[in-house]
Structure 1
Amino acid sequence: MSAPVVNERAVAPPLWIRPPARLAVLLARVIARLTPERQFALLKAVRLGARACNVDEAHRARNAVVFVSVMCTGPWCLQRSIAAALLCRLCGTWPQWCVGVRTEPFRAHAWIQVAGSPVDEDAEQLRYFHELVMIGPRS
C-alpha cells in the first residue's frame, strides 16, 4: 500500500508516550502480516469500549509512531495506520481506521481519520480513493 503522505517529519513526543508507541508499532507489525479478514476482525474487537478520538489525540499518536519507528514512515501506510490506531486505543480512544483504493493509477492506502478528516495525510490526494473499509469507534 502506498500513497502520498503529508507529515513524515515527527516532532519529538513526550517521554511518557514513547514506550506505548513502541508497543503499538510492534503489535502493528504482527497485525499487518495477517490476512485482511483477520486484521479487520482483530481491529474491530480492539476498538470496543473506546471513546471517539479527537484530532489532537490522533495527531499525537501518529506523530509518536512515526517518531519511534522508521517502519512507520514513507510507504509503510498499513503498519503506520494500525500502529497509530492501536496507540490511540492504549490511551482509551479510537480513530476511524480506513483502507481505500484508487484505480488510475492503481494504489491502495491505509490511514486514520477523525470525523471524516484524514490526520496528517494529503486530503486532496485521498479524495481520489474509494474507501473500502472503515473501522470507527464503537462502544
Structure 2
Amino acid sequence: MPDSDAPVPGTTPLRHRVLATLCAAAARPLARARPHRIRAVLQLLRRGATPATAAQTAAARQAVVATSARCAAARSCLQRSLATALLCRAQGVWPTWCTGVRSEPFGAHAWVAVDGEPIGEPLHETGYTPVITIPPVPPLVSQRGAGR
C-alpha cells in the first residue's frame, strides 16, 4: 500500500517548487546553528504572519519534501521543519515550529504543528515532549476602546 504522505510528482506548481527549493536551501545552514540562534531567527521571522492553517502547512511540507531529497530523508526532520516554516512564512503565514524529545526509546525530533497537531508526521514520530516551540504571534488587541 503506498504511503499517503509521499509526495505526488507534478502536483506542486512551479512557483511553489522554486520557493520551496530556496527555503530548503536557506534551512540547511540554519539547521546547523545552535538552538538559541534558531529560536531567535524564527521568533524574528514569525512577526507579521497570520497563523497557518493545517492545509497551508501540509501543502508547504509537501512542496519541501517534493523538491528537496535532503528534506525528504527520514533523518532530516530539523531541516525539513525549518524549510516548511520558512515556506509558510514566505506565503505570509506561520505554523507552530517545534522540537522535542522522548525517552522510550530516546530520540529527538523537529516538526511543524497547527493547533497542537503535528502536520505530516508518521505515527512512529509521535510522543515527543516539546522543548522549544515557536507559535504564531498572537494578533494584537486594540487598546482603544478596551475597558470602556
The question of a shared fold, defined as TM-score above 0.5 by the shorter chain, is answered with: yes
Distance across 2 between alignment mates of 1:62 and 1:122 = 13
Give the match for residue 122 of structure 2: 122
The number of aligned residues is: 133
Which of these two proteins has the greater Rg computed from alpha carbons?
Answer: 2
Give the match for residue 44 of structure 1: 43
Deviation per residue, 1:3-36 (Å, 9 max, x gap): xxx82x2123111201110110011001001111
Matched, 1:10 2:7: yes
- Cα deviation for residue 124 of structure 1 reads 6.8
SS at match of 2:104: coil
SS at match of 2:75: coil
Matched residue type, 1:69: S
User: Cα 1:124–1:71, aligned 2, differ >3 Å: closer, same or farther?
Assistant: closer
* C-alpha RMSD over aligned residues: 1.6
Structure 1: runs of 5 or more not aligned:
1-5
Give the match for residue 80 of structure 1: 80
Give the match for residue 97 of structure 2: 97
Structure 2: runs of 5 or more not aligned:
140-148
Distance across 1 between alignment mates of 2:70 and 2:46 = 23
SS at match of 2:37: helix
SS at match of 1:37: helix
SS at match of 2:98: strand
Deviation per residue, 1:86-127 (Å, 9 max, x gap): 00000000000010100121100000011111101135742x
Give the structure, 1 or 2, with the largest relative contact order (CA under 8 Å, sep 6 or more): 1
Deviation per residue, 1:42-64 (Å, 9 max, x gap): 01101100000001100110000
Matched residue type, 2:29: V
Matched residue type, 1:105: P
Give the match for residue 109 of structure 2: 109
Distance across 1 between alignment mates of 2:51 and 2:18 = 23
SS at match of 2:120: coil
After TM superposition, the score normalised by the length of structure 1 is 0.90
Distance across 2 between alignment mates of 1:89 and 1:63 = 15
Give the match for residue 31 of structure 1: 30
After TM superposition, the score normalised by the length of structure 2 is 0.85
SS at match of 1:88: helix
Matched residue type, 2:108: A
Give the match for residue 22 of structure 1: 21
